[in-house]
Structure 1
Amino acid sequence: MIQSLDLGVSIYELIEEVSTGGRGVKLPNEIPAEFMYFVGAVAGDGNINQNRRIKIHCPSDPEIVERCLNIIRNLFGVGYTYKNGMLIVNSAVLVGIVKKFGIQAKNKASTLDVPPEIFRMPRGHISEYLRGLFDTDGAVGIKPYGGCVSLSTNSRKLARKVQLLLLMFGITSRVYSSGKGKGYRVEIADRISIRKFADSVGFYSRRKKSKLFRLLSRYRGIARTKTYVVPAEIASPLLVAIRGGEGISASLLHKFLPKSSRYLWEHGRVSITKRNLKRHIQVVDKLSQADCEPLTIGKGLADSPLLFERIVSKRIIRGKFIVYDIMVPKNHNFIANGFLVHNSGMVEPLKIAMEHGIIKWETARQTIGPYRFTSFLSVNYNTRVFERGYEVTVRDPNFSAIEERMLCRLHRLTKERYREIAEKQMELVLGKLKMEKANEIRDHLTLVHAIETEHPLVKDRFEYKPILLTEKVFEEVKRAREAILDTIAQERLDFSPRLERRAIQLICAMSLMSYFKDRDERIRVDPEALKLGVRFYVEEAAVRSKEKFDPEEVIRRLGLS
């Protein structure tokens, strides 16, 4: 036990303790759950003095002291004094063990902490630790219209970490400050969490146990609490997507659900309880033929233990800090300061950009954005390239869905490509490459992009022109599609129809270069843009197929080489 805790107690101190106390010190091989009750009680109403003694005094609840006495007597067999409701334990070893659990001799009340070792313990150990804390520093408050279970402490760290420990049992709480920052109160106020506290933690104190029972006996009916509802901001788009995805009309749904409730929920006028969400989804599930993705998400949300809390405030912490990208295998999620966080890194911002969402990137020094990406962007990512095909080495499971939405290009560094790159680099250094046109091209594209997105600076000066898509564009894409499918021997394909849509988008984007060519109200598809777009389609289909066919052969057959 001493070795597992790294107590820093020398063998000489152990010998001295044994000889002074006149009896041996028993040390269990593992930390028993009941010992954590003793640790919690010491954290609450105990103290450690400089003479390496532990004192616990609970005059209102003598049974707490008696239980602590039985624990240390049965587990350790150390010397103690018990008189007038006060327990004094004389043991340097036991003091050393208790200190490892965040209890210090000096300024104990304000320096109390919950070390990582407690968070890693089994639930039974954590439950005993919390019971010891709440038995000594906890209280049950009964009000005319409800009540609460609370814990008072002078340590902000202890208050915040007790809040996290309670969340392990699905118990939600709030931390309140006295205002001067010298006292904190962890308060469990909602009915469901109080019931969970009674089942998972509870009290050993007869007085507090009786008061908790009186509080619970006042509750009748179904609990209605803010922590067990899905906010309107989340529920509204989800319910609309569920109904739309399953193809169910509002009039049909009204036969099974109240019209007013459905309207309020779908239009985000009110939040919805998980009980009502589950009922709503059960009705839709009976009326639908197959589960769409939003319905699957809704089912999981209705049955999940997830709780929603409104963000009260945000603040920027200025300065230079070391930051990390954290990737957790298998689950891909982790808990950070009580928040469920998805793997960090490049994937989430990239996903937002590809869905034309707004990216706002905040650093310690400045805020970058918000930006909405409505054009193509270039991304390089790690792959393992083989003789035929490649394998993505990005570990995030969401990346495959993102890569499927990309224009995928694979360039091998062959001898020929190496020579071309090396020669261009030399020409650039010697000034043989003419770069004057680069700025003009960039300015031209920037202006056209601003016109087509109706930027306020140019909206009234230049007319927005849509791209005119003709049957010829779709015929060329279809011709390329048939040539590709005829070349691939296998029945199953490794790419999706999204390739055709992206090819058409690319053709339209490249045709924007022709904005100023004529005064027509629409921009005609440029022949060169059409040719390049179809080439991209063929080459990407080959890459997605792990190069099971030669794209150059298909391109020659289509007359695009």
Structure 2
Amino acid sequence: MEIQDIPKYYFVRENGSVEGARVDSFTPETLFSTAGVASHWYDLGESDTYRIATNLGHEIEGTPEHPLVIMGEDGNLRFKTAKNIKAGDWIPLKTGSQMFGNYRRLDKEQSYILGLLTGDGGMTIKDRICFTTADRELLIACKNYFQKKYSCQLQKTKSRKYDYVITSAVVKSELLQSGLSENYSRNKKVPEQIMMAPKEQVVAFLQGLFDTDGSVYKTGKVEFSTSSKKLAKQVSALLLNLGVMHKFRIKGNNQYTDSYILLISGVELINFSQQVGFRLTRKQEKLNSYLAKIKLRTNVDLFPAQGIRILRLWRHLVEDGKKPSKYVDESFHKQICRYAQGGRKPSRESIKLFLEACVKVDPEIYTNDDFKFLQLMVNSGLFFDRVSKVEEFRGRVYDFTVSETHSFVS
């Protein structure tokens, strides 16, 4: 849920203390991420802010003095205030937190149908639910659900080829209580019950949403497109929580005609297929076909400023009388040299291969500080994205107090 919504779901006292609000907390010194508990929540009113955008289109906004974690030139994580962040800085984005709620009013099938209706449904006409699809598989899924749960039939309209409707005040009322809204497409959002639900329901909802508003291209990209900025931001947050990194971009230059697009590519297609995937057979088969014949590489999931650490670790092995070059092929040895010289940034997979080679050379290397840092970093769920733009804004500001770590992931 969004930070401003905390008082809707948790008891906040006059002094700001709050009970039961769990947050994803992170300690830069140890790269340790854990589910923390917020002791206080504050509405700080209107304030000057800095909005920081990254190359992949993600944004974070905070007050000028709000500390954010960046990767320093020395290869260590450290805090830097928002007003001092500049274009070119590397900010870690946390993925794969796997933090979900325990609101169990909805089952998986209800959640999937809510995803379908959020994508290609309409609730703007009184007592009417409309579903638009040319996919027989989705039509059957919807028909079966409404027949089984409400003994209602989806009826094809005469005026539009792919429109199907149910006219029932009772059914519509229940769907509204489940979290669907009567908004037009540009104001659609993820139902609140889904934002607070366990993982199984969240995944089922996303499957319904991607079955309708998702696309799979021959070039091996999965795309989700919507005219609702809020829906796009919420889906982005859900994907990051599941560990699926993606690009966020805006197509158009008018708030009434803009499309908000989430683009998943490279090795993240594997994460998407494993964590979410499609229920719609033709889309999942298309994705499976691409994954089966393409060797995926990434030039996006890179770790900045780690050349000095890799060089120190390599020299440690050489000076200790070991011969690390014997354990890697010539091509990978050249890559290691480029990383050490700062000519290239290593990917997550390259660092894993490098660490495996180090262990083969010296089984006792686990105690080395540089080895421990690199191992923690590649398994931390951090994804480094470069700052593309920093702008001054003004907006309403909220904050948490997390007693143990004094930090939270936003």
| TM bracket (short chain) | 0.5 to 0.7
CA offsets 1:47-93 (integer angstroms, 9 cap, x no match): 013422211121x202212201222332x325344337644233434
CA 1:282 to 1:213, structure 2 compared with 1: closer, same or farther past 3 Å?
closer
Report the counterpart of residue 202 of structure 2 in structure 1: 126
- The CA distance in 1 between the partners of 2:308 and 2:195, in whole Å, is 37
Q: Which runs of 5+ in 1 are unaligned?
A: 7-28, 337-561
Matched, 1:113 2:186: no
Residue 243 of structure 1: how far off its partner (Å) = 4.7
Deviation at 1:178, TM superposition (A): 1.7
With normalisation by structure 1, the TM-score equals 0.48
How far apart, CA to CA, are the structure 1 residues paired with 2:143 and 2:362?
63
Distance 1:184 1:250 in 2: 59
Amino acid at match of 1:262: I
2-side partners of 1:274 and 1:104: how far apart? 41
Residues 43 and 133 in structure 1, CA contact (< 8 A), matched pair in contact too: yes
Equivalent residue number for residue 65 of structure 1: 139
Hey, what's the Cα distance between the residues in 2 that align with 1:206 and 1:159? Answer: 24
Q: What is the DSSP-based 3-state SS (H/G/I as helix, E as strand, rest coil) of the residue aligned with 1:39?
A: helix
The alpha-carbon distance between structure 1 residues 245 and 183, as it changes in their structure 2 partners (threshold 3 A), is same
Q: CA deviation at 1:211?
A: 3.0
Distance 1:300 1:211, change over 3 A: same
**Which among 97, 100, 107 is matched to residue 32 of structure 1?**
107
| 1:337-352 alignment runs, 5 A limit | none
The answer to whether residue 388 in structure 2 is matched with residue 312 in structure 1 is: yes
Question: Which whole-Å CA distance do the structure 2 matches of 1:88 and 1:187 have between them?
Answer: 29
Identity among equivalent positions (%) equals: 22
1:199 — aligned with what? Answer: 274
Structure 1 position 250, deviation (Å): 9.9
Please tell me the root mean square deviation across aligned C-alpha atoms, in Å: 3.1
Q: Secondary structure at the match of 2:248?
A: strand
- Partner residue, 1:226: 299
Q: Deviations over 1:441-496 (max 9, x none)?
A: xxxxxxxxxxxxxxxxxxxxxxxxxxxxxxxxxxxxxxxxxxxxxxxxxxxxxxxx
Cα 1:269–1:251 change in 2 (3 A) is farther
The 1:289/1:173 distance shift into structure 2, 3 A limit, reads: closer
Distance 1:161 1:226, change over 3 A: farther
Secondary structure of the structure 2 residue equivalent to 1:272: coil
Letter in 1 for 2:165: I
Work out whether 1:169 is the aligned partner of 2:242: yes
Amino acid at match of 1:311: V
SS state at 2:408 partner: strand
Alpha-carbon distance in 2 for matches of 1:328, 1:99: 38
Shift of 1:40: 1.0
Name the CA distance, whole Å, in 1 between partners of 2:401 and 2:174.
33
Higher RCO structure, 1 or 2 (CA under 8 Å, sep 6+):
2
- Report 1:460-499 matches (<5 A): none
| 2: CA distance, partners of 1:154 / 1:102 | 19
Q: Distance in 2 between matches of 1:293 and 1:83?
A: 66
Q: Residue in 2 aligned with 1:281? A: 355
| Alignment check: 8 A CA contact 2:307 2:342 kept | yes
Q: Do 1:148 and 1:187's aligned partners in 2 also have CA atoms closer than 8 Å?
A: no
Partner residue in 2 for 1:178 = 251
Counterpart in 1 of 2:43?
none
The within-5 A match list for 1:1-150 is 30-58=105-133, 60-74=134-148, 76-83=149-156, 86-99=163-176, 103-106=180-183, 108-142=184-218, 146-150=219-223
Match of 1:237 in 2: 308
1:324 to 377, 388, 399: 399
Amino acid paired to 1:294: D
In 2, the alpha carbon distance for the partners of 1:266 and 1:41 equals 49
Greater strand percent: which structure?
Answer: 2
Letter in 2 for 1:114: V
Contact 1:102 1:112 in 2 (8 A): no
Q: Work out the CA distance in 2 between the residues paired with 1:261 and 1:251.
A: 19
2: distance between equivalents of 1:138 and 1:241?
45
Deviations 1:166-217 (A, max 9, x none): 2233222212212224232434342322223233323333433343334334
- Report the CA distance shift for 1:157/1:49 in structure 2 as closer, same or farther (over 3 A): closer
Pick closer, same or farther for the CA change 1:253–1:216 going to 2, 3 Å. Answer: closer
Give the 3-state SS of the residue equivalent to 1:324 in structure 2. strand
The answer as to whether partners of 1:153 and 1:159 remain within 8 angstroms in 2 is yes
The corresponding residue for 1:397 is none
Secondary structure of 2:382's aligned partner: coil
Indicate how the Cα distance of structure 1 residues 262 and 200 shifts in structure 2: closer, same or farther if over 3 A, else same. closer
- The answer for the alignment partner of 1:480 in structure 2 is none
Instruction: For residues 107-133 of structure 1, give each alpha carbon's deviation from its aligned partner in whole angstroms, at most 9, with x where no partner exists.
Output: x10101124532331222111111111
Report the CA distance between 1:99 and its aligned residue.
3.4
Shift of 1:38: 0.9
**Structure 2 unaligned spans of 5+:** 1-7, 10-103
Q: 3-state SS of the aligned residue for 1:166? A: helix
Partner secondary structure for residue 79 of structure 1 = coil
Identify the match of residue 226 of structure 2 among 146, 153, 164.
153
Distance in 2 of aligned mates of 1:304 and 1:116: 29
- Alignment match, 1:269: 343
Matches within 5 A, 1:403-414: none
| Larger helix proportion of the pair | 1
CA–CA distance in 2 between the matches of 1:101 and 1:241? 56
User: Deviations 1:537-557 (Å, cap 9, x if unpaired)?
Assistant: xxxxxxxxxxxxxxxxxxxxx
C-alpha displacement at 1:157, in angstroms? 1.1
Q: Aligned pair in 2 of structure 1 residues 83, 260: CA closer, same or farther (>3 Å)?
A: closer
